[in-house]
Structure 1
């Protein structure tokens, strides 16, 4: 005969537990700290003091909109798909989300199904419960007894009623830490985009400097050959001849140094991409004005709210605030429910027959009396961590403000510097051309021509360096503004797990 098991006692206790989930909370009311920075960034005469229209100009900039160079776009996409550090950040984010899911389930009763089968012998004149939660008390007064026990039971054990918000505080803290991990991933993603852009710009600039060094050295070698012939013909001194050769040797050293820098740039780029550079990319291409979208002037400091590291710092502050609630709840009683329903029999064949059903429902409570200051110290530690989280949040905001302010100041002053340097290169080219003509006509010695060539070479190098600095500063401003300049209340975490499933791309050697 099949046993009809009624679940009413178990369902009743579970429903009661669920109704009591909306207890009180011991968490302090969260108050966001005021940003310890001015409302606007420092401005100069080159910066428009009026903020642009948010709806028109402060659109959320996808990195493909900001970085217009198609080659750079390809490299960034490869890095997003393959970079190992970004994969680590994605794994950490996934782990934090899983931890949050595990913390949330403690808010609900856990129903377990258990089975037991055993054989037991009790000596005479003894009293002992049989194995299993539902087992009866066995009384043996005259002779030893041997018996079997079989049971199947389902129910919840020690489910804590969250009257004082202990479990909710733990779940809240875990949720905020998961949100902070998602923001950390976003910050790592923006940082990687910026690093690839910086590496790309540095590689292009160093290739241009290498080309300048090779061209200059070629010109110096030609001059040295002229001076050697003039020396053999008695038209130049040994001093001038050897001086021209020193310039050749110096130029060759510059060429080798730039070769080293280019090779290191390629190696660094390969690490960022997570694979060798694509085929054909190792061929030099001329330096040009970087295809980057400029950031509008007059930005408010409130845009710092959208930076992932600022968002992560505030999420950790909220987690610390929730941890205070957990520590406070430890001072109050804890109440746990137990509800078990099952069948029990001394024989396996009778386990599911009529009359073998059994159930138990119970409640237990505990309240700390003497813990020797454990809860008090835990609460003090939670408050101290909250104080540290406030300081960390404010420090992150201040550092973010400094990064944006530095980038804006650099932008204001590097443009006139570039203009002056371009004029210097133009003038140096004319001086060098004139000095060559004067040397050919015998109006000047070779020293003047060498000086003019050296000045032109230095001016050209400085121009490339300033153009690189301007482009890198634009990238830094892009990163400092959190990957764009739209005002947004929170980071967009859609599709953040993309890096956990990288897309392999074909690549060749350098």
Structure 2
């Protein structure tokens, strides 16, 4: 008797290990980085701004990495900070990204539930008429009443369902990282569009000043021509400059309106009238000395790279499911309840009924479907490997381009400032020579046009420098936290920038405070009552 008990215990233990541990997923190995171990060095790359640079105006990143710098600390314009806050609350693309995370979470829960038995409570009545010639004792009408439970369970011996669950989990985590990338990109896009609008404001100011100067010159030359002192050529040249400035003014007014419309679209609502007073373009003192770190740091700082790796993990898990499809499926179905020919007799002694129907299904011939599915899964993994490597290469290129630009803009702007000052002085001298009869009016018009072009180049260079700093902040992974020192939220955390809508808890999970949610891992937020080990990626050899 003891021997049979020990044997039964050993069989049960072996079955438990087999059900819990066997999987055909390939062992995951992160692909090697397809980039160099450091960013480019020397030349313009070595000319990076520091905290002592003139352009920094005393603001420094204190050697913090971009993900550790809050966007409110990166931007010093209170008006821009308020606009970013509104965009994080109202942008529709970001809302879609958040809802995609909720959908992926629900899909994971659906797939995970397949690991557990299903139990249904059922009650039925079956009423049947039999021809009199075939009935016993002339009972042509028969009734059968039943009440009970039906249960079914597919025992996942070979890890097919667990592989599908791992695939759904990785897809959920990839969607959460993509949402994080979308939020970071939104912060950068709003800032870029705001700076574009400020640049157009500066261009409008320059064009209006140029138009006023041109109109004053035109009045003088026209008066001289009308009095027979000046030539018609001078008068026509002055008139041409005026009309050109008027056309430029209309173009820039159109661009200003379109820039604001684009900003409103990003924000998701009209800009409020009570926004704080903003700073002009040349006073946007962004943090310019954020360290780049190493390319390997991007693997943990860039959510788009993390999303690509989770997609690769999903493809890896899908191979396990495709391999398990070659092996038998074992399912258990059963029912327990009561049967009676009368409703009142359902719960009387002797009415109990049960059934147990184990089933095993072994694939023999399916026209090559399983082989094709396995080939497809392996090809999809190779595709995701290429996508992952491309994401790393793209991130490397974006940061390298940003560093190259950051190393040149300060000197370029200083040169353009000197160039603009020289053209302003040239215009003064040309006008003086013309008034003294030493030179023709053409020299004045040429100097005026060159000054206008120089002022436009300076404004555009200032804009490009600022947008490069904003984009480099994004490329290095910055923009996820609001204040430097904040605890980073999980990638699937709900947006809480003034939102009044409470976060919807996962099915079967109690609602949690925002402080509690921010401390949970993405997987813990899926099913808080599931074991914490669910979040660990374990690679188990087939068996």
Q: TM-score, normalised by structure 1?
A: 0.86
Tell me, yes or no, if structure 1 residue 196 matches structure 2 residue 190.
yes
Question: Match for residue 273 of structure 1?
Answer: 267
Q: Is the 8 A contact 1:90 1:500 kept in 2?
A: no
Q: Secondary structure at the match of 1:221?
A: helix
Question: Match for residue 5 of structure 1?
Answer: none
Q: 1:141 to 1:198 in 2, by over 3 A?
A: same
Tell me, yes or no, if structure 1 residue 67 matches structure 2 residue 75.
yes
1:172-229: CA deviation from partner (whole Å, max 9, x where unpaired): 0000000000011111111111111111000000011011101100000000001111
Q: 1:181 to 1:125 in 2, by over 3 A?
A: farther
Tell me, yes or no, if structure 1 residue 175 matches structure 2 residue 183.
no
Q: Secondary structure at the match of 1:111?
A: strand
Q: Secondary structure at the match of 1:206?
A: helix
Q: How many residues align?
A: 471
Question: Match for residue 133 of structure 1?
Answer: none
Question: Match for residue 517 of structure 2?
Answer: none
Question: Match for residue 147 of structure 2?
Answer: 152
Unpaired stretches in structure 1, ≥5 consecutive residues: 1-13, 127-139, 505-510
| Cα shift at 1:492 | 4.8
Tell me, yes or no, if structure 1 residue 86 matches structure 2 residue 80.
no
Question: Match for residue 507 of structure 2?
Answer: none
Please, which moves more after superposition, 62-71 or 380-389? 62-71
Q: Secondary structure at the match of 1:444?
A: coil
Question: Match for residue 507 of structure 1?
Answer: none
Matches within 5 A, 1:204-353: 204-279=198-273, 286-297=280-291, 299-305=293-299, 306-353=301-348
Structure 2 counterpart of 1:498, from 456, 473, 495: 495
| Cα shift at 1:483 | 2.0
Please, which moves more after superposition, 464-473 or 187-196? 187-196
Tell me, yes or no, if structure 1 residue 373 matches structure 2 residue 368.
yes
| Cα shift at 1:471 | 0.6
1:39-66: CA deviation from partner (whole Å, max 9, x where unpaired): 111123344599x9x9953261222222
Question: Match for residue 57 of structure 1?
Answer: 64
Q: Secondary structure at the match of 1:336?
A: strand
Rounded to whole Å, the distance in 2 between the matches of 1:500 and 1:143 is 77
Rounded to whole Å, the distance in 1 between the matches of 2:321 and 2:491 is 31
Rounded to whole Å, the distance in 2 between the matches of 1:355 and 1:483 is 71
Q: TM-score, normalised by structure 2?
A: 0.81
Q: Is the 8 A contact 1:89 1:188 kept in 2?
A: yes
Structure 2 counterpart of 1:394, from 389, 393, 406: 389
Tell me, yes or no, if structure 1 residue 76 matches structure 2 residue 84.
yes
Structure 1 counterpart of 2:433, from 430, 438, 459: 438
Rounded to whole Å, the distance in 1 between the matches of 2:62 and 2:238 is 62
Q: Secondary structure at the match of 2:365?
A: coil
1:71-124: CA deviation from partner (whole Å, max 9, x where unpaired): 111111111111111111111111001100111111111111111012112347
| Cα shift at 1:439 | 2.7
Rounded to whole Å, the distance in 1 between the matches of 2:111 and 2:207 is 62
Rounded to whole Å, the distance in 2 between the matches of 1:35 and 1:19 is 37
Q: 1:302 to 1:484 in 2, by over 3 A?
A: farther
Q: Is the 8 A contact 2:163 2:320 kept in 1?
A: yes
Q: 1:113 to 1:359 in 2, by over 3 A?
A: same
Q: 1:465 to 1:94 in 2, by over 3 A?
A: same
Q: Is the 8 A contact 1:82 1:502 kept in 2?
A: no
Q: Is the 8 A contact 2:302 2:477 kept in 1?
A: yes
Structure 1 counterpart of 2:470, from 455, 466, 475: 475
Question: Match for residue 510 of structure 2?
Answer: none
Rounded to whole Å, the distance in 1 between the matches of 2:17 and 2:139 is 49
Question: Match for residue 121 of structure 2?
Answer: 113
